[in-house]
Amino acid sequence: AQSVSQHNHHVILSEAASLELGCNYSYGGTVNLFWYVQYPGQHLQLLLKYFSGDPLVKGIKGFEAEFIKSKFSFNLRKPSVQWSDTAEYFCAVKRRELTGGGNKLTFGTGTQLKVEL
C-alpha cells in the first residue's frame, strides 16, 4: 500500500524566515501530487498541484513545490513566510491509474506551521 510521509509535524518560524516542508511517498508508479492547506477555522484548500511537465510548480500565496522523481519527494517551499501562513499543511498523492483503485488521495499526517511575529 502506498504511504505519504511528512517528517516535520510541528514547525515554528519567525516572519520572513524561509520554509521547506518535506513530503515523501512510497508508490513507484505515476502519481499526481498535491499540497493542501488548512488555515485555523477554515476548510482544506488547494495550495498547488503537480500532474506532469516542469517539476517546479508554483501555487497561491508565493508557495512552490519541487517534484524529484528519483527521491519520491514533493517538498513545499516559501522564501519568506508571513504570520498569515500559520496553518496545517497536508501533502497528498494520487495514483494515476484510470481504472480500478484510483482516484483516492492518500494524505500525509500534516505539518502544523506556526509563524511568530
Contacts with another protein by CB under 8 A lie at: 32, 34, 36, 42-46, 49, 51, 90, 92, 96-110
Nearer Cβ to another protein (46/56): 46
Nearer Cβ to another protein (35/81): 35
What is the end-to-end Cα distance of the chain in Å, rounded? 41
Closest separation in Å from C-beta 44 to another protein = 4
Closest separation in Å from C-beta 37 to another protein = 11
Cell of 78: 516559501
State the Cα–Cα distance between residues 80 and 98, nearest whole angstrom. Answer: 38
Nearer Cβ to another protein (23/92): 92
Nearer Cβ to another protein (47/81): 47
Closest separation in Å from C-beta 28 to another protein = 18
24-25 vs 31-38, strand pairing mode: unpaired
State the Cα–Cα distance between residues 111 and 9, nearest whole angstrom. Answer: 4
Per-residue DSSP letter, 40:
T
DSSP result, 84-106:
GG-EEEEEEEEE--SSSS-S--E
Closest separation in Å from C-beta 43 to another protein = 4
